[in-house]
Structure 1
């Protein structure tokens, strides 16, 4: 393989990303997801405290705590459904060979696909949480908006992590049916099974197995990294979730957690690029 073929032509990548993003705009995907986020976040913001006899945002801590649960369940699922057929779908439709016949490399195609999908996911996520952000600024001032902006940023990063995983699955899978099944299995594994498995091992061993290492194992799950980022951003949320005595302060370092999230974005994409080589 020559050096020229290893280099990435960013003009080609931008063209592919723009096409992918335009396709998502035309089929109303961005609009639908933005509406889902907007409606769900507004309902949680206003009615999340209904069980305590309160309607409307009571505090920035409780509002973010309620939205964290929404994001952990919804954002990974949407990201996986968005990207699971990025490559395998083109292969099934017979358009992959046509794309590769153009003067572009496989890495340019993969990166262009990912960036276009990332733009669509970013726009829908930011637009979906924008209205609640205005309410936070009106209700709690700039301090509330600052913490809410950090929450939205971490939600955006979580979506990109699972989008990278989805593109990796799309390269590995032989058909769209298997890719969709793997995407749902991945969602169940990270969102539902992972924490239960760690807790089960800890309880079954009477706290003797993995006690000290258990908090650090949470870095193996981007959903848990997102949770820790937001739980430790506010004092009231630490006591609300009861994780202060479980998660060591060293693990709660936002730079460490942000770097772990970045790793979850880059590693699956790198594996997908390696697997997609000719």
Structure 2
């Protein structure tokens, strides 16, 4: 069943269009990075100037965003396109009842839909990363460091988890809604709300609860408000993904929250080891994994109780 679903995805025009769009943005981002990599690595005041291959994913010319920003924007669309009609299309075409008439369990059908799409996304992002490393070796001739390999492939893993969340959400909507168009519109609406309007709502909320004269706040109150803003923003999966990828691809990032002068006293501006960067972003990764698991578990519950003969 997984093999059949993978073949269907590969022959799907919508997947070809979405992958072509992601590949195009990847090529543009890599071209901009390779064009400005000499200036980025020559800046000795930058503590990350020695990580050339990480610079390929983070360098920007202030016009074209880096690749991880493109992934945070296009990744949800890729996941939604793979799952918005996973179940309701089978039922509307009359093939769901035929499949269930065979010696096939319901959970196997649902798992095959999720696993096949996840394998396609995994192969696609892994191929892009290998293409990026190969291009860097070809154009620069610089040997890649083991820490860069760990950070780049961990970034790839986080990107797959991020797309898997939107995939599980779209499959959930395909189980809950009978029409594929309705499921697609609902998934895109949720994505737009969490990406754009949710941040505006958080800003309006904070503006409403802040005192009339913010200059009267103490340092502890300012830090408390900033932490509250960050906690509210991190409900959105895009914020979790941005925090995780930024910390991994920029080893000099030491904290994802406000830092006092006392905390900075004695700190040396140097890159963190991979293990410490991973510990900083572990809550974000756990949040994405938990959200993906909850969406898929809810989808599983609804599908196991669904009447498929109607």
With normalisation by structure 1, the TM-score equals 0.78
Aligned to 1:10: none
> Is contact 2:83–2:171 with CA below 8 Å preserved after alignment?
yes
Aligned to 2:238: 223
Q: CA deviation at 1:70?
A: 0.3
Alignment of 1:184-199 (within 5 A): 184-199=188-203
Counterpart secondary structure, 1:215: helix
Asked whether 1:42 is paired with 2:57, we answer no
* Separation in structure 2 between the aligned mates of residue 57 and residue 172 of structure 1, nearest angstrom: 51
Aligned to 2:2: 17
Where does the alignment leave 5 or more consecutive residues of structure 2 unmatched?
Answer: 41-51, 59-65, 212-220, 264-275, 306-310
> Is contact 2:107–2:300 with CA below 8 Å preserved after alignment?
yes
Q: CA deviation at 1:75?
A: 0.8
User: Bigger shift: 204-213 or 193-202?
Assistant: 204-213
Alignment match of 2:258 (pick from 245, 248, 252): 245
* Separation in structure 1 between the aligned mates of residue 226 and residue 117 of structure 2, nearest angstrom: 39
> Is contact 2:251–2:277 with CA below 8 Å preserved after alignment?
no
Q: CA deviation at 1:67?
A: 1.5
User: Bigger shift: 259-268 or 203-212?
Assistant: 203-212
Alignment match of 1:261 (pick from 288, 292, 303): 288
* Separation in structure 1 between the aligned mates of residue 257 and residue 55 of structure 2, nearest angstrom: 17
Distance of aligned partners of 1:55 and 1:112 in 2 relative to their CA distance in 1, 3 Å threshold:
same
Q: How many pairs are equivalent? A: 257
Aligned to 1:123: 123
Asked whether 1:76 is paired with 2:106, we answer no
Asked whether 1:64 is paired with 2:57, we answer yes
Q: CA deviation at 1:258?
A: 2.1
Residues 111-165 of structure 1: CA deviation (Å, up to 9, x unaligned): 1111112112222222233311323455562243332222222111111111111
Distance of aligned partners of 1:125 and 1:57 in 2 relative to their CA distance in 1, 3 Å threshold:
farther
Where does the alignment leave 5 or more consecutive residues of structure 1 unmatched?
Answer: 1-15
Residues 195-224 of structure 1: CA deviation (Å, up to 9, x unaligned): 332233223432789654332334422221
Aligned to 1:85: 85
Residues 159-188 of structure 1: CA deviation (Å, up to 9, x unaligned): 111111111111111211211111210221
> Is contact 2:80–2:170 with CA below 8 Å preserved after alignment?
yes
Q: CA deviation at 1:259?
A: 1.8
Distance of aligned partners of 1:91 and 1:135 in 2 relative to their CA distance in 1, 3 Å threshold:
same
Aligned to 1:148: 152
Alignment RMSD: 3.2
> Is contact 2:87–2:174 with CA below 8 Å preserved after alignment?
yes
User: Bigger shift: 202-211 or 253-262?
Assistant: 202-211
Distance of aligned partners of 1:245 and 1:129 in 2 relative to their CA distance in 1, 3 Å threshold:
same
Q: CA deviation at 1:96?
A: 1.2
